[in-house]
Amino acid sequence: MDADGSNRRFLVSGPSPRFSPDGKTILYTEENTHPGKLWKMVGVDGSNLRDLGKVEDSVFSTDGRHVLCLSPEWRRRL
């Protein structure tokens, strides 16, 4: 999208999009499936789409270099 709001472009669908600390990457869920949600990661320009698999949750590290994914299996191990 341009600074004036024109030329908008659709990048992702689904709830809970999360931007990396540097603002260059988005984590998001594609669909709500259980157990776990299908998480993906994509650059804000639409490049470099990556599938993270079915996980409960995903977050960027504070420096943005890593993604922490919580497995749906974690509850069974406690």
pLDDT score of 20: 93
Kindly report the pTM of this predicted structure: 0.71
pLDDT score of 37: 77
pLDDT score of 31: 64
Give the residue from 60, 67, 66 showing the smallest Cα distance to 21. 60
**Chain centroid to CA 69: how far?**
10
pLDDT score of 58: 85
pLDDT score of 73: 67
Domain boundaries, the chain: 1-62
Pairing of strands 57-60, 50-55: unpaired
pLDDT score of 72: 67
pLDDT along the chain (78 residues), means of 10: 75 78 88 69 88 84 88 60
E strands, the chain, where? 18-19, 25-31, 37-43, 50-55, 57-60, 67-70
Q: Which two tokens stand for residue 42?
A: 């994509």
